[in-house]
Chain A
């Protein structure tokens, strides 16, 4: 597909929501208040796993200022939600399964009264054995969290013959990797304000990422029809996948309290409550075994991943599905056997987070690639170029990549920008000085949008007003990534108008169609495609009217620079506003509803074969680090990020995703770890859970590569998640280049870099880490 000539697409237009955000006018969920509102609060479980034997709320109810104290028995409808497996309660009924389970609710006149009332609720527990180790969860005799098995997902990919593959191999590399729990750390904690609706039902304004799935659960919990539950998205202060189920629970709770009391109820999580309750990124235990020829070609990949799903299913089935599809990386291999499991434990449940099952496998894949390069005596770039997908390649799931596969271009562009090979050679084998330089490379392919994991369709509405101003709304939500701006820019391009004419409305479940979740980097490709269609519908009407007005054929007319123009000579024939007014006078609709359904995908669950995603994106990251080998401190000095995004709709927003993705990946690689001790979280605020500051993120050099994809609007694909999935392995590979030692567990803390293993206050974990860090085996085949 060639790049279409455009006027506004590709420009770094100001965001449509920027003005409100720089002036303090933007209203986030916690900024809303209503007269006579009450404050809601949640009482959390006191044990990570226990039977609730008794709850006594009488004393709390008697407290001055308390309007309602509710428990599971007060839920009129279904007390279970979940996108695939409905096993998460709005309020725990007889068993608590993690430390963030809600047990009771309070609505009171003030926050202080609500807090005081929580302290007066007496809950008696009979503690159950606590299961925290996902590998232990697999064992027959382990404690069961739900039903009779802790394994609730097993995805497979089977390709070729793994035995033959290893028989052909001249080298076998086997390694175990571990990743950690990650907290999304959106700067805005969850908040919701619920009010009884005029005609019955409920209206909720909240920091909700996936309004339609939250609405389904609220309706089910309250026994209401979907049209009686209206969820309005407030300006969202970051999400990164993190404001889905936790917001569903908060919306349900606020709605319950509001309907019970007949008053508006506001619930705002403190950071501590947010970290305690909200789901995390899955930690994985990854066992990788690869066979290769001495020339570096890969003959077999045997991969097993165990994802800690925590207490509830949440998005685990989907997250792990992406892992199973992408577990081999973008490398040719004829013999693949991949198994990905998700298991229940009593840790905090895990779900969607930017990357969605790719950061974990990418860490393992890209570490393996560097180890293989070392084993066959090649430079990491050379080995990747030798093995990576080209156009027409067949993936591990048997899909032929018939779009333009730009991975080798992406790789060489990144390598050139960072002078990778020269640096990599010169940094190897440093023997003097405490501060050692290193450079590391990582690349990936990534399926765009939901893929065969679910229904994939979205709607956007473009409504031209009689004065030529435009209102756009969509079922796709803006969490700060700029979805509203991309959709506006696409509508503006189609209508030939400036961005100043467009007003974007925050998503409201009662006014736009269910467009699925805004996840999987599908905002631009799905919402944008729908915006394009919506705008085209209006444009077509307006062109017809323009034709009547001017006597020119519609085919000779275009909208450009806010005018109806004759294409042949560019003459302005009427203003956009005049044509709009004329449409209205003639009684014609200027309302375009655009609906976009993704191209077909397919999946055979048993063999793990199929057209997993309708298209893919390609990216490469290079990190240059300085490692203090005497303290273990790692500083990232420079960074190069290269991504083929199809087409950049808004250049600065695309770069923003690059930068933010790298920073989040840096946290994943070096700083962040949400830890538990016997199921109880150890970090509950930003003093202990460390995300990168402005002094930790290096200068980042971005390179945007554009190979427009016929599947996307104006050729655009996606960037939100690809940007985030490569920084950690690039950094880890750079550390290995600097020190000659490989980190196999994230993050690369001071201790891991210096000692090769983590230290833990409990003392036990340290010893476990030691053994697993020494689990590397590189050996000739057959031994």
Chain B
């Protein structure tokens, strides 16, 4: 690893002040599970300053306020995976957190890092977008809040300025009548990178018709987004295998519209449709396990 200057601020204010001074020279360290891998690569690490935010207590923890769930960026995947709060308010996010890497990675890796690293295979992002999450970026100059879906420019790139820090992830908790699912497909059963994933939320009304549907595939589109065309197919309909298959096919079609046909399309085209269908089936049959496998 190339030498650098290491600073561990203790407060948010100190952190933003540091970032303002250091500008593009600085990189932010939280859990380190992505950054340290990157820094080790020859000729990759060009940042002069590493700002370790892991001791900034304002950036840790999770609260509910005003029916919203507020997750601070230093929350580790392990904490989210075992969170009683999420089990009710956003079980799909708990599932996604549980599907990341390994116990060691989940003990260190943070949700903030997972978001800001912006890898297309980031497992917490599809559930968060499905949940309608917004994020808050803060710098010495002020704060701005935006939907998570508009944070990403392209793979590995967000719109955050070098001096901006992710301070908060906020989403409305799922209502009691909503059901959710997260499905991840990897090549092996642990330490696995998502080949494809799907986050889905369904709300079925008293009339047994679908009142709300959200579908967000992972590792499929250039950046994450709800597939509104597929969601629209579902609204007002009664859940059925055929309907869910049609929604899956629609997601698949949308994917190809956006990405074009690539080397991996022959595989992803049928499989994303299957995963979407299965996620929806899981939502419609909440008794099924939601462990992401």
A residues adjacent to B (C-beta < 8 A): 115, 119, 434, 630-633, 635, 671, 686-687, 690, 692-696, 749-751, 754-755, 759-763, 766
Question: Is there a chain A Cβ closer than 8 Å to B189's Cβ?
Answer: yes
Task: Write the chain A residue with the least CB distance to B267.
Answer: A751
The docked-state distance in angstroms from the alpha carbon of A434 to that of B281 is: 13
Residues of B in contact with A, size category: 10 to 19
Question: Is there a chain A Cβ closer than 8 Å to B50's Cβ?
Answer: no
* Shortest distance between the CB of A227 and any CB in chain B (Å): 41
Return chain B residues, CB-CB under 8 Å to A751: 266-267
Q: Verify A759–B188 contact, CB threshold 8 A.
A: no
Q: Verify B267–A695 contact, CB threshold 8 A.
A: no
A631 in contact with B187 given A755-B266, A760-B263 (CB within 8 Å): no
The docked-state distance in angstroms from the alpha carbon of A632 to that of B187 is: 10
Q: Verify B266–A750 contact, CB threshold 8 A.
A: no
Question: Is there a chain A Cβ closer than 8 Å to B285's Cβ?
Answer: no
The docked-state distance in angstroms from the alpha carbon of A693 to that of B192 is: 10
A754 in contact with B270 given A760-B263, A763-B263, A766-B263 (CB within 8 Å): yes
Question: Is there a chain A Cβ closer than 8 Å to B42's Cβ?
Answer: yes
In the complex, besides A631-B271, A750-B187, A754-B271, 20 extra interface pairs with C-beta distance below 8 angstroms are A115-B42, A434-B274, A631-B185, A631-B275, A633-B185, A635-B189, A687-B191, A693-B191, A695-B189, A696-B188, A696-B190, A750-B185, A750-B195, A751-B266, A751-B267, A755-B266, A759-B263, A759-B266, A759-B267, A761-B263
The docked-state distance in angstroms from the alpha carbon of A497 to that of B67 is: 72
Return chain B residues, CB-CB under 8 Å to A759: 263-264, 266-267
A630 in contact with B271 given A671-B188, A693-B188 (CB within 8 Å): yes
Q: Verify A671–B190 contact, CB threshold 8 A.
A: no
Return chain B residues, CB-CB under 8 Å to A690: 187-188, 191
Return chain B residues, CB-CB under 8 Å to A755: 266-267
The docked-state distance in angstroms from the alpha carbon of A694 to that of B185 is: 17
The docked-state distance in angstroms from the alpha carbon of A242 to that of B263 is: 33
Return chain B residues, CB-CB under 8 Å to A671: 187-188
* Shortest distance between the CB of B110 and any CB in chain A (Å): 19
Q: Verify B190–A695 contact, CB threshold 8 A.
A: yes
Return chain A residues, CB-CB under 8 Å to B37: 687
The docked-state distance in angstroms from the alpha carbon of A696 to that of B185 is: 14
Contact of A631 among B263, B264, B274 (CB under 8 A): B274
A692 in contact with B188 given A630-B274, A631-B275, A754-B267 (CB within 8 Å): yes
Return chain A residues, CB-CB under 8 Å to B264: 759
* Shortest distance between the CB of A768 and any CB in chain B (Å): 14
The docked-state distance in angstroms from the alpha carbon of A759 to that of B263 is: 7
The docked-state distance in angstroms from the alpha carbon of A260 to that of B220 is: 55
Most chain B beta-carbon contacts within 10 A, residue among A692, A759, A761 = A759
Interface of A, secondary structure class, is: loop
* Shortest distance between the CB of B255 and any CB in chain A (Å): 16
Q: Verify B187–A749 contact, CB threshold 8 A.
A: yes
The docked-state distance in angstroms from the alpha carbon of A760 to that of B263 is: 6
| Contact mask for chain B residues 255-293; partner A; CB cutoff 8 A; 1 contact, 0 none | 000000001101100110011000000000000000000
Most chain A beta-carbon contacts within 10 A, residue among B37, B264, B271 = B271
The docked-state distance in angstroms from the alpha carbon of A750 to that of B193 is: 14
For chain B residues 2-31, which have a beta carbon within 8 Å of chain A? none
For chain B residues 151-202, which have a beta carbon within 8 Å of chain A? 185, 187-191, 193, 195
The docked-state distance in angstroms from the alpha carbon of A178 to that of B266 is: 22
The docked-state distance in angstroms from the alpha carbon of A293 to that of B107 is: 61
Return chain B residues, CB-CB under 8 Å to A692: 188
The docked-state distance in angstroms from the alpha carbon of A49 to that of B190 is: 37
The docked-state distance in angstroms from the alpha carbon of A18 to that of B184 is: 39
| Contact mask for chain B residues 107-120; partner A; CB cutoff 8 A; 1 contact, 0 none | 00000000000000
Return chain B residues, CB-CB under 8 Å to A633: 185
16 contacts between A and B (CB under 8 A): A115-B42, A434-B274, A630-B270, A631-B271, A631-B274, A633-B185, A686-B191, A687-B191, A690-B188, A693-B188, A695-B188, A754-B267, A755-B266, A759-B263, A759-B266, A766-B263
Return chain B residues, CB-CB under 8 Å to A754: 267, 270-271
The docked-state distance in angstroms from the alpha carbon of A690 to that of B190 is: 10
The docked-state distance in angstroms from the alpha carbon of A696 to that of B271 is: 21
The docked-state distance in angstroms from the alpha carbon of A434 to that of B277 is: 12
Task: Write the chain A residue with the least CB distance to B101.
Answer: A687
* Shortest distance between the CB of A766 and any CB in chain B (Å): 7
**Cβ-closest 5 pairs across A and B:** A695-B189, A693-B190, A630-B274, A695-B190, A751-B267
Return chain A residues, CB-CB under 8 Å to B190: 693-696
Task: Write the chain B residue with the least CB distance to A434.
Answer: B274
The docked-state distance in angstroms from the alpha carbon of A33 to that of B264 is: 48
The docked-state distance in angstroms from the alpha carbon of A411 to that of B251 is: 48
Q: Verify A750–B263 contact, CB threshold 8 A.
A: no
* Shortest distance between the CB of B187 and any CB in chain A (Å): 6
Q: Verify B188–A750 contact, CB threshold 8 A.
A: no
The docked-state distance in angstroms from the alpha carbon of A693 to that of B104 is: 14
Return chain A residues, CB-CB under 8 Å to B102: 693
The docked-state distance in angstroms from the alpha carbon of A760 to that of B271 is: 17
The docked-state distance in angstroms from the alpha carbon of A749 to that of B195 is: 12
The docked-state distance in angstroms from the alpha carbon of A119 to that of B43 is: 10
